[in-house]
Amino acid sequence: MRRGLLLLLLFALLLPTTAQAVDLDVEAQAALLMEKETGQVLFSKNEHEPLEPASVTKVMTLLLTMEAIEQGSIHYDDVVTVSAYAASMGGSNVYLAEGEQITVEELLKAVCVASGNDASVALAEHVSGVTELFVAEMNNRAKELGMKDTCFVNCTGLPAEGHVTSALDVAIMSRELILHHPDIRRFTTIWMDSLRNGEFQLANTNKLIRFYEGATGLKTGSTSSARYCVSATAERDGMELIAVILKGSTSQQRFEDAKTLLNYGFSTYALHRADVESPFAPLPVELGAADTVHLKLPEEGRTALLKKGEIANLTQEIALPPSVAAPVEAGQTIGTLTVRSGEQAILEIPILAAESVAELQWSEMLLRMLQDAFFCG
């Protein structure tokens, strides 16, 4: 199993991380387009420039909250009592009052739809106790994800000296959120909703949710210094893209820039998941407790991002030995499936043992010999 994972890792390191450069009409100071499944960058502009992200910061706030839910340390139906500090937040908010009680699920809705700063702080305090600790966890998580251009000072994106990130880093944390926590779509795809039993109306700050086909999220942001930002996600034909816009000139222009990126991605690229035309035949096992072992492909590492015209011309090569010696461990690499576009290897996928086969013991071997002799006689 470890050999199979090592092969996947080594091949992943050989894959290009950025597609061929293309000139797109994007006005924002910085921009980037990434495909979710592979993490491949399809377009970039000033992708490492440290810029203020405004409320796009909340992507990390949402990520830490969803991770806490997955870990079981908090739950959707937890009732949060709003602190004085959370209630004091300026900027965009849902006007939470000190002492008001509201569930984690409703707070997530308030952050995703209305970009509530007060709701973000309430979530941060519920996850970590105090916002200072939560912000430290934001920065630690950023380092774990390889976000080298990022420094978080708060969980809201309100202007603060030194609070910066980059288009690449926003795409990285956005990918982590939507790839591993698809349940966030329950909130990011809401166009209009309400809080407090219908008393407070919400309208999504991300206008692409209403006006762009396949939009799935994710987060807008704007301040006088950050200008207009968005991490926009959309899915079509099983492929989800992340378009990041930082320091756009106007609110509408950031959405136009995001659409330019998304349109380019969807019109040019598609995902291909490698598979075999028919199941692998069981492979003979030498001196094994079983005569054969079944084979399979791993679930991960089988997807490639290709230009649409390339997919029809792909070829496959299967390399397998005539047999394998016992013992065999489940997940052991037995062979390789190579997917090629012309002469170029697009994917090299380990072919794995589907189950373990123990080595034949001497007593079992003797019994087989006797059975064979008796049968032959």
For residues 134 and 137, give the distance between their C-alpha atoms in angstroms, rounded to a whole number: 5
**Residue 377: how many other CB atoms lie within 10 Å:** 5
Asked if residue 233 lies in contact with residue 206, where contact means CB atoms within 8 angstroms, the answer is no
Q: What distances in angstroms separate CA 91 from CA 94, 95, 107, 224, one per listed residue?
A: 10, 10, 16, 11
Cis peptide before 182 (omega within 30 of 0): no
For residues 162 and 50, give the distance between their C-alpha atoms in angstroms, rounded to a whole number: 9
Q: How many residues would you count in the chain?
A: 377
Tokens of 296: 């399979």
41 by DSSP, 3-state: which? Answer: strand
Active centre residues (catalytic): 55, 58, 115
83 by DSSP, 3-state: which? Answer: coil
With b for 16 or more beta-carbon neighbours within 10 A and e for fewer, the 13-40 pattern comes to eeeeeebeeeeeebbbbbbbbbbbebbb
Location of structure tokens 């039993």? 197
For residues 377 and 374, give the distance between their C-alpha atoms in angstroms, rounded to a whole number: 5
**Mutual angle of helices 104-114 and 117-128, in 10-degree steps:** 140
C-alpha radius of gyration, the chain, whole number: 26
